[in-house]
A and B are shown apart, each in its own frame.
Chain A
Amino acid sequence: MLAVGLCHAAMGSDFIPKGKTIGMITQGPTMTRWDLNYGYSTKWAIRASRIDWDSNPLDTSLTLQGLQATYVLHRSYTEEGILNIYLSGGPLWAAQRLTPERRAVGFEGIISADYETTQIYLRTVFERFESSISTTQISKAQVLYAPWESSYARPTLWVGIQAQQMQRTQIERSLAPMIRIVSRRTWFEAGIHLAGESRGKIFIQAMYLF
């Protein structure tokens, strides 16, 4: 239900270069998310985020606002690509729009890993939002392939699939074919759910490197 709307709980790419800011917006069938990330150092980044879930028959609308620190646990280079492992976490402010409104302070924790070459992108994420009024747990994997090798001179098209399991009021599994277009400082992706409550509905995500 509500859970199926959260298509992209964490950023498409977690590495933030030192001194750079990345803005992101995600729109799913039942949610909208905004993120603002800043690279504090080569190992640490900070992120402010806000997620608005629409209400549905099983749950009321919910707003989560968070402030997280992301740590690059591992970053290594192979001949063909780069491997990253990240840990992220921080306080979460949850508000459920009931009468009277319910508010709670909680915690968001994420562990994610990605491996990328100029033609292959693999990513896995585990994320948990925990508060006294709402708990959500998400596991996600993405596999994408660039038919034409990534280039700096032109936009790169990626095609792939995303598998996701989300647990909130119930467990929801989703499989979504997706595309991604990366053009220097702009990142755009879109997919369509093949299963679950959001079957046939699209999600989009856009990022911009300032």
Chain B
Amino acid sequence: MSFMSSFLLSTVLLVNPIISATKPSAVVIDIRGMVCAFCASSIEDKFKEIKGVREVFVDLKTRTVIVGFEGPVTMSDKEINTLILDSGYTQRQIVRSEESIDLLKKKYIEGFKTP
């Protein structure tokens, strides 16, 4: 599980250009202990309350949440961390991506389909 999460996050990091004029429009968050849909829905709710958030993708298998913004990411790591803590969890890693959430979801889902 941890390997898969790390794989996804590494992939996200690798595909992002190191230097780019484009600002990140999504964040990929690895959340410890997020195993219950009932509990995870509060994380989705809290992100959706944030202005500028377009879509939230939750995957329990890898304990991952991907948050897509309408424009550039408007939340700091500290704000994201606080939101996760308020939901009852802690994050292991926050990765910012310049790719759209649609593309990230596609890569993410396809990535986990491949052995």
What residues make up the interface of A, taking CB atoms closer than 8 Å to B? Answer: 13, 15, 17-20, 42, 75, 77-82, 116-118, 149-152, 156, 182-187, 207, 209
Task: Give chain B nearest CB distance to A208 CB in angstroms.
Answer: 10
Whether A17 pairs with B88 at a CB distance below 8 angstroms is yes
Q: A77-B90, A150-B60 are in contact. Are A82 and B35 (CB under 8 A)?
A: yes
Whether B59 pairs with A82 at a CB distance below 8 angstroms is no
B13 in the interface, Cβ–Cβ < 8 Å?
no
Q: A17-B86, A18-B87, A151-B60 are in contact. Are A79 and B1 (CB under 8 A)?
A: yes
Q: A17-B87, A18-B87, A82-B33 are in contact. Are A152 and B38 (CB under 8 A)?
A: no
> Which of B38, B41, B46, B90 counts the most chain A CB atoms within 10 A?
B38
> Which of B1, B37, B42, B90 counts the most chain A CB atoms within 10 A?
B37
Whether A20 pairs with B35 at a CB distance below 8 angstroms is no
Q: A20-B45, A79-B1, A80-B1 are in contact. Are A150 and B36 (CB under 8 A)?
A: yes
User: Which B residues are in CB contact (< 8 Å) with A75?
Assistant: 88
Alpha-carbon distance between A82 and B32 when the two chains are bound, in angstroms:
8
> What number of A-B contacts does a CB cutoff of 8 Å give?
75
Task: Give B32-73 as 1s and 0s: 1 = Cβ < 8 Å from A's Cβ atoms.
Answer: 110111111110111000000000001111000000000000
> Which of B42, B45, B58, B85 counts the most chain A CB atoms within 10 A?
B42
What residues make up the interface of B, taking CB atoms closer than 8 Å to A? Answer: 1-2, 32-33, 35-42, 44-46, 58-61, 85-90
Whether A152 pairs with B42 at a CB distance below 8 angstroms is no
Whether B33 pairs with A19 at a CB distance below 8 angstroms is no
User: Which A residues are in CB contact (< 8 Å) with B39?
Assistant: 13, 15, 17
Q: A17-B87, A42-B88, A80-B1 are in contact. Are A184 and B61 (CB under 8 A)?
A: no
Whether B37 pairs with A184 at a CB distance below 8 angstroms is yes
User: Which A residues are in CB contact (< 8 Å) with B60?
Assistant: 118, 149-152
Whether B45 pairs with A187 at a CB distance below 8 angstroms is no
Whether B37 pairs with A151 at a CB distance below 8 angstroms is yes
Task: Give chain A nearest CB distance to B110 CB in angstroms.
Answer: 15
Picked from A18, A78, A81, A184, the residue with its CB within 8 Å of the CB of B38 is A184
Whether B1 pairs with A18 at a CB distance below 8 angstroms is no
Whether A81 pairs with B35 at a CB distance below 8 angstroms is yes
Q: What are 29 A-to-B residue pairs whose CB atoms are below 8 Å?
A: A13-B36, A13-B39, A15-B39, A15-B88, A17-B39, A17-B46, A17-B87, A19-B86, A77-B32, A77-B89, A80-B35, A82-B35, A82-B36, A116-B35, A117-B35, A118-B60, A118-B61, A149-B61, A150-B37, A150-B60, A151-B37, A151-B60, A151-B61, A152-B37, A182-B38, A185-B38, A185-B41, A186-B38, A209-B41
